[in-house]
Amino acid sequence: MEIVRSHRQLAAAAAAAGGGGLGSLPTYRAAPQLEVRLEEFELFAIDRLRVLKGISDGLSRGKRPEEMEKLVSELWKTHMRHQDPAETLNKDIISHFVLRLVYCRTEELRKWFLSMETTLFRYRFRLETSESQRMLMTEFQLPYKALPHSEFEVVKDKLSQVARSMGQSANVESVFFKVPFEEVPDLVASRRVFLSKGYAYVAMSQVVSLVVTQFRCNISKALVLTNRKWTATIKEQEKDRLTPIVEALSNAYFGPDYSQDAVEISVKDIDQLAKSSFPLCMRHMLDKLRENHHLKHGGRMQFGLFLKGAGLKLEDALAFWRAEFSQKVGSERFDKEYAYSIRHNYGKEGKRTDYTPYSCQKIISATPGVGDHHGCPYRHFGEENLRAALNKMGVSGHTLEEIMDKVKNRHYQLACTLTFEATHGVSCDSGINHPNQYFSESQKVLRAKNQTVESQSAT
């Protein structure tokens, strides 16, 4: 599909679809009526996805708000900026609607996209000028007016008390909005507003919470509607053109290729490597495979691609899976029903696609069914089972409680990072973002320790 309008016309159409007035922050109210090349359709989405993945990584590492603001600014400048502001606006809006199509298709995908886009909007809003912020409030048609001076004087002392409790100056701002407390749950939960008779008094510097609440509500509704359209018409109509791109984008991972660090491993190495270097998700699946001599499709994909990324060659992979599955289904049935998918993962069948191992984000967003063993233990295990699994890895005491605290706060990758540090005795400043990264970093640590022991023995 060719772009048939000038950049000036495109920018005007994009602004009409939710360009956010004089500011640079769109509200994404409606998709612009544009015709875009398929190449740009995909590339714009990939760049935005890099931003969202970066935000996800930052949140999983527990970055503070000021660190997140800096991170979002750097990610946006690196991946989304253009010398022509109009082109930046085009890319911003088009990429959002492409990813809305990509991430509308399941509840887990919608939840992740909604969370990341809301976080991105929050920090971009905070970087806008006061004038632009006021215009965005108008754009969202928020029914709030600034508090009259007479009412402000009545509650001024209470507002000062709240400011002091937050470590701020007692000289409070002069512009406040009186809103129903349920409109700003984050401010209420963190005790950053004065409450009276069911209303919260929100300072101009805090209006981001009001706008973000409305933004989140709008995007959430839009994702549900987009999913209906996708299921009813778009998926089938675009099965030979857009659908493959959409599915590829939803599986995309833009981190380092950890398979580059892999050394060739054999079938006989797997059990020993599992004890020393496999993350908990992969240890669990290996245990269940040994126990049941079978894994369902999701488990075979997640574990099989992990082993491939760790260095298991196709011939060894076939031997490994055949040895296990044959105990339950027989060698003939294995060759007939399962061998093809293994060769397919290695790019030897079908479209000859060389599939890559799943990232943590993809694994966390999975929804294992009854009898499934894939997914992320930190998210999908019950507390008792998770504690038992971590104890089996040698994690206990204060460290175990710290990991469980991260799990309760839904920082699953941070919990995995703490597990790595506890079992290896080293820090992992980059955080764990991929099972094969866990394996690769573990092998580096173990090799370094072995070299140290060898050098000490030699002397």
Known binding site for [4Fe-4S] cluster: residues?
A: 281, 360, 376, 416
> What sign for the dihedral angle of Cα 361, 362, 363, 364?
positive
Segments in 269-396 forming alpha helices (H): 270-277, 280-292, 297-310, 314-329, 331-337, 339-345, 360-364, 377-380, 383-392
Here the tokens at position 212 are 């973000």
Neighbouring CB atoms inside 10 A of 164's CB total 12
| Residue written as token pair 């009186």 | 178
Question: How is 62-120 classified by DSSP, letter by letter?
Answer: T--HHHHHHHHHHHHHHHT--SSHHHHHHHHHHHHHHHHHHTTSSHHHHHHHHHHHHHH
> What sign for the dihedral angle of Cα 99, 104, 105, 111?
positive
CA distances from 345 to 300, 306, 342, 434 (A): 10, 11, 5, 18
Q: Indicate the DSSP class of residue 139.
A: H
Here the tokens at position 68 are 């997140």
